[in-house]
Amino acid sequence: MTSVLLLRAASKDVPDKYESSFVAAGYAPTSIPVLETSLTNTGILVRILSNTSTGFSGVILTSARACQAWKSASDLVATPSLVRWCALPFYVVGKSTASALREIDGAPKDIRGEDSGNAEQLARYILNDARRMSGKLLYLTGDKNRDTLPSILASNNLILHQLQVYETRGSARFASDLADVLSKGTDDTGLWWIVYFAPSAAESVTPALNLHFDIAGGKEDPSQKRRQACVAAIGPTTHDFLRDTLKLHVHAVASKPTPDDLVSAIKAHDGINSVAA
């Protein structure tokens, strides 16, 4: 059975949706947290949400961490103000972000764009959806967000109010967590899949991965006895970072950031290879 290393924290849902999808497809998945996240500017967000005359016409959230920041601030806001905000459209990237938003008590009902696979697709969706909006959009970001979405919206005269609400750094435990996983009797000779979920942690965890896996595509040193692995990315943004910045060959890219689309991309690669063999 092919092992799959998922470079993300397993969700609190039992069972985890990504792990369940891989198990159902005949793979052996393991999730390892790669990031540590802390919230920032919560007080500023509380003040924005408490103001009933801010002129906003929608909210943009592109990650589950942004949803966490929204929840943290909304817990401190009076109900009347929060009700007004939750009547606005909320724009999200992917079903996982939409799911994280829906899990919040008193979550907004009007959630749009969840079929968007990345920030560019969401920006195009917003442009089409928000033509008649007169107010600005509140965009909650992390410290490593790219400018793709803001640039597209700004070039079409949509006004954004951006606020960084979280920051991320590589997990200090990743190397030891990885060693623990690999010490538990896993097959050293079989092919592995390593799945990257975001550029933000890729640079910090790849050196540790290179100690155990041959993912760089260079000439292998027989004395190292590293495991063979293919690389997958959750979407095009992550794929481009792995290819252009880390110089990794990416074997599979999910068409949308969902468990089923990720599994389908990996199965397609494995199927092509098995037929070719």
Q: Measured between alpha carbons, how far is 54 from 262 in angstroms, rounded to an integer?
A: 40
User: Would you state the torsion angle of the CA atoms of residues 133, 136, 140, 146, taken in this order, to the nearest 10 degrees?
Assistant: 90
Domain 38-168 in CATH 3.40.50.20? The answer is no
What pLDDT was estimated at residue 12?
Answer: 74
Residue with tokens 């606005």: 88
What pLDDT was estimated at residue 77?
Answer: 94
Cβ atoms 190, 6 nearer than 8 A? no
Cβ atoms 142, 200 nearer than 8 A? yes
Cβ atoms 125, 102 nearer than 8 A? no
What pLDDT was estimated at residue 275?
Answer: 40
Report the side by side order of strands in the sheet with 160-164. 111-112, 90-92, 56-61, 136-141, 160-164
Q: Hey, what CATH class is 3-34+172-276 in?
A: alpha beta
- In a 13 Å sphere around the CA of 255, the CA atoms on its Cβ side amount to 7
Dihedral angle sign, alpha carbons of residues 260, 120, 171, 166: negative
User: Which of left, alpha, beta for 122 (phi over 0: left; psi -120 to 50: alpha)?
Assistant: alpha
Cβ atoms 41, 10 nearer than 8 A? no
Strand partners, 231: 194
3-state DSSP call for residue 85?
Answer: helix
What pLDDT was estimated at residue 276?
Answer: 40
Cβ atoms 68, 101 nearer than 8 A? no
Q: What is the pLDDT along the chain (277 residues), one digit of tens a residue?
A: 899 999 999 987 678 999 999 999 999 999 999 988 899 999 999 999 998 777 899 999 999 999 999 999 999 999 999 999 999 999 999 998 999 999 998 899 999 999 998 899 999 999 998 877 778 999 999 998 888 999 999 999 899 999 999 998 889 999 999 999 999 865 566 889 999 998 888 999 999 999 999 987 655 555 567 899 999 999 999 999 999 999 999 999 999 989 999 999 999 999 865 544 3
What's the pTM value of the predicted model, to 2 decimals?
0.65
Backbone angles phi, psi at 230, to 5 degrees: -105, 155
Assigned token pair, 209: 């991965």
Q: Measured between alpha carbons, how far is 206 from 160 in angstroms, rounded to an integer?
A: 34
Residues of the chain with CATH 3.40.50.10090: 3-34+172-276, 38-168
